[in-house]
Amino acid sequence: MGKKFQKSFSSKSNIEAIKQSGKEFLSDRKHSNHLVDILTKLESEETDVQLVCVRVLHKIFNQLLASQQMCLQQADTDKDKDVTSEGKYSKWLKERYADAIQQLLGLISSEQSNLQELSLCTLMKFVASEGQNPLTHTQATHLTFPVVLFEMILGKLLSQQQNMSSLIGRFQEYVEYDDVRYFVLKTLRKQLKDSSIKKTDIFLGNVFCMLELMKVPEVKEDQLLDNFISLKPGPECVTKVTTRKEQQKIFTSAWLEFLQNKLTMSLYKKVLIILHEKVMPYMTTPVLLADFLTQSYNIGGAISLLALNGLFILVNKYNLDYPEFYSKLYSMFEPGVVHAKYRARFFHLADIFLTSTHLPAYLIAAFAKRLSRIALTAPPCGSSIILQFIYNLLIRHPNCRVLLHRDNQQEEFDLTTDPYNINEQDPAKSRAMDSSLWEIKTLQQHYNHNVANQAKRCDYPLAHTESDFGEILETTILQLIEKETSKKIKEGIPTNFEEPKSLVMDIASGQLWDFSS
């Protein structure tokens, strides 16, 4: 107990000493060596000591940058005999500033999240201070963004060995600045092109987290971007940083460089999920994603579905010519789709893909027939989704209602005469329009009364408006079982078709057990 108290007391006194050293350094140059002491104590193993050192260094160097005490007026070499004592002091401060930056960069990789965040925020404060008060004199028409320091910070955030997703999330507030966003994208593209950097899964995950934060702001065509963390350039200074079109170009090239890498399946899904909302709107030419999405479709499974979603956006919104789209969607309707974990998303997207009332009747009929076949062997929750999906298709496309009511009733129930070819991959050649939805009639005899009742809807005129099947998309077989078992049961459930009169059977019933005859 005594040792623990002694250690705590020592730590507190050390912290107070560090704070006092910082104040004395800023008050009088004769305490300049205090800065070296603070940098030394930053290497302490005690997190509390490190935290206070970072805060004190932040205060010291922000004040030094603001007062331009580290801004050298002339050549800062030891060989230059004309260097004044003031110049030597400025040079020494600049060297200590470089030492502080290196130590703070190392702390970004710390296992302590609070130390990581504080180090990152301190370094970004230095970026802002350097941007406002450059270490070297520049013309007013030039950008003052500290590119070298910024690239070192991003180099740590884009680690090849450490997942930095949480810390990158903390970085989000800075990408609202137009100059920060531009140099983030420029650095990302540079690192992705650099063959000397090993593109590990962790590195690519960190790059994705950073790319996901990027949004190019909407401005008028002739309006310049001016939300800068560094000094705002004069109106006569028009650079790539200040124009939205140039930011779109570098945004596009950074994403295309990223997509050329081999991604893990989980990262692949994350990319495909955000493409239509967070990437396509900011690209100069979204159709450049067509090759990536086409290759993604060939992977299969959930990747194929998500890839089709991206292709649909390109076809529908960006006028991509892709005639095979609905054939590819049709081929994805297999019996296993009702068992897949992405079932809800699959049917939600498929419903969106088939929303247009301009789609040909033969195409809608092919989807309805293929789904009705799948419903025959699907679990109850899957059959419910499919039936609702088919009804919505028929409401949306009245020309296909002929599938419910054929004149030849004998053909409707004779499986051997069904002209529909489920093995045909081309919906136009499947002959679905010549068939009927006899499968729905069959489902009226389903063991689950919910499915049976839903199938009986085809015996009545269809509604004029579609039903929202969003609620049943997430329904599972366990939920159906729980729903059935939670129902109140009436007393006196019959266990025999004939009510017994006594415990002893009559003679006639007893003779049933005689096997001698």
Instruction: Give the pair of three-digit tokens for residue 257.
Output: 């460089």
More confident residue, 85 or 106: 106
> In this model, does residue 368 exceed pLDDT 90?
yes
Amino acid letter, residue 440? I
Work out the average pLDDT over 188-215.
96
Alpha carbons 390 and 392: distance in angstroms, whole number: 5
How many residues are listed for the chain in this entry?
Answer: 517
pLDDT tens string 311-329:
999 998 998 888 889 999 9
Asked if residues 432 and 366 have their Cβ atoms less than 8 Å apart, the reply is yes
Give pTM, 2 decimals.
0.82
What 8-state DSSP symbol labels residue 176?
A: G
pLDDT (mean) for 397-426: 77
> Measured between alpha carbons, how far is 103 from 21 in angstroms, rounded to an integer?
19
Report the alpha-carbon distance of residue 34 to residue 181 in Å, rounded.
37
Over 322-391, what HEC string results?
CCCHHHHHHHCCCHHHHCCCCHHHHHHHHHHHCCCCCCCHHHHHHHHHHHHHHHHHCCHHHHHHHHHHHH
pLDDT value for 340: 78
- Give the side-chain half-sphere CA count within 13 A for 116: 18
What is the spatial distance between Cα 279 and Cα 215, in angstroms, rounded to a whole number? Answer: 8
- Percentage above 90 pLDDT, the chain: 54
Looking at residue 6, its pLDDT comes to 45
- How many whole angstroms separate alpha carbon 33 and alpha carbon 37? 7
So what's the pLDDT on residue 262? 94
Q: What pLDDT is recorded for position 1? A: 45
Average pLDDT of span 432-437 = 92
377: nearest Cα among 472, 300, 442, 456: 442
